[in-house]
Amino acid sequence: MSQNFRRDLNREFDAISGTPSPALSARVRSALEQGRPARTGPFWMAGLAAGLIAAIVVSVLVVSNLGRHTAIGPSLIPSPSPSPSAAATATPGATPSPSPAQTPPDSTLPAFVCAGPVSLAGTHTPAVAFVDAVRTGTHPGYDRVTIEFNNGEPANVDMSPHAGTTFTQGASGQQVTLQGSTGLLVIIHGADEHTAYSGSTDIKPGYSVLVELRQVEDFEGTVQWGLGLSKTACYREFFLTNPARLVIDIQNS
C-alpha cells in the first residue's frame, strides 16, 4: 500500500475527527454509573425478586394512573430535527442578572441567565408527565442534564439558584448535602418520577461545573432535583420534542 495514500487518508480522517473532549472519559464513567447492569453472583436472586416486586408495583401504579389521566401527550414519532419547543423566561420580579445574558452558540436556544429564577411552561401537557430517563453529558461550553418524559411535557418547570448545596427533601423534610459549593434547584410541576423511571436518583457526573444531581422530591405531582455545582454558573432550560425532554444547561466556561 502506498504510504502516501495512507498518510493522506489519515490526514483527512484527522481533520474530520479532531480529538475527543478531555471529559469523554469522565462522561463515559458517569454513564456507566447510571446505566449499571444487574450485579451477578450470590445476589442475583435477590435482585430478580426485587425487580419482580418493582414491576408489580409499577404495573399497579400505571393501571391506577391510566384511570386518572386521560390526556395523552403528543406522538412519539421523531420529528425531522429536534427543536426547542419553548424557551425559559425570567420570572417577573427576578433579581436582575449581574452580568448580561450570553447568547448561546445556537441562536434557536434560549440565552443563558446568570442569576434569579427562570420559569418554563410546557405546551403539550398531560395531567402528569412521567419521567422515564435522566441523563447527563458535558459539551464544550456547558454541562447538560436531560430529563425525558414518555407522555408529553410537564406543566411548568421552575429553576433557581440555591445557596449552598444542602437541600431539604420533600415529604420527609430530611436534609441532604450534595457535592460542590453552590446549587440550583429544579422544580417540575405536573410530573412524577416513580411510574416510569427506574434509574438513579443520585447521579455524580463529576463534570467541571455539574458535579452531582439528586432527586429531592417526587411527591404529589411535583418532582424536584437539586444540582450541586462546583462554582456559580449561568444556566438555561428549554424543552425538546419527540420525545419530550427538559434540557438544563449549565455553563462550564
Among 13, 45, 163, 220, which residue sits at the site for another protein (rule: CB under 8 A)?
13
**Is residue 12 at the binding interface for another protein, with CB under 8 A as the rule?**
yes
Binding of another protein by 21 (CB under 8 A): yes
SS3 96: coil
Judged by beta carbon, residue 24 or residue 66, the one nearer another protein is 24
Binding residues for another protein, rule CB under 8 A, total 42
Closest residue by Cα to residue 162 from 243, 216, 239: 216
Q: Residue 62: count other Cβ atoms within 10 Å of its Cβ.
A: 13
- Side chain identity, residue 151: N
Strand 182-189 relative to strand 191-192, pairing: unpaired
Contact between 56 and another protein per CB under 8 A: no
Q: By CB under 8 A, is residue 29 in contact with another protein?
A: yes
- Decide: is 164 part of the binding site for another protein (CB under 8 A): no
Q: Indicate whether 137 belongs to the interface with another protein (CB under 8 A).
A: yes
Quick one: 190 or 243, whose CB is closer to another protein?
243
In the complex, the smallest distance separating the C-beta of residue 234 from another protein, rounded to whole angstroms, is: 20
31 binds another protein (CB under 8 A): yes
- Residue 221 binds another protein (CB under 8 A): no
How many Cα neighbours within 13 Å face the side chain of 37? 2
C-beta separation of 211 from 204 below 8 A: yes
Interacting stretch for another protein, rule CB under 8 A, among 1-9, 89-97, 170-178, 208-216?
A: 1-9
Strand partners, 160: 185
Secondary structure class of 237 (helix, strand, coil): strand
Cβ(118)–Cβ(91) under 8 Å?
yes
Whole-number minimum distance, CB 12 to another protein, in Å? 5
The DSSP element (H or E) to which 47 belongs, if any, is helix 44-68
**Can you read off the three cell numbers belonging to residue 142?**
456547558
Nearer to another protein, 79 or 89 (CB): 79
Residues lying near another protein in the complex (CB under 8 A): 1-2, 4-6, 8-18, 20-21, 24-25, 27-29, 31-41, 78-82, 137, 139, 242
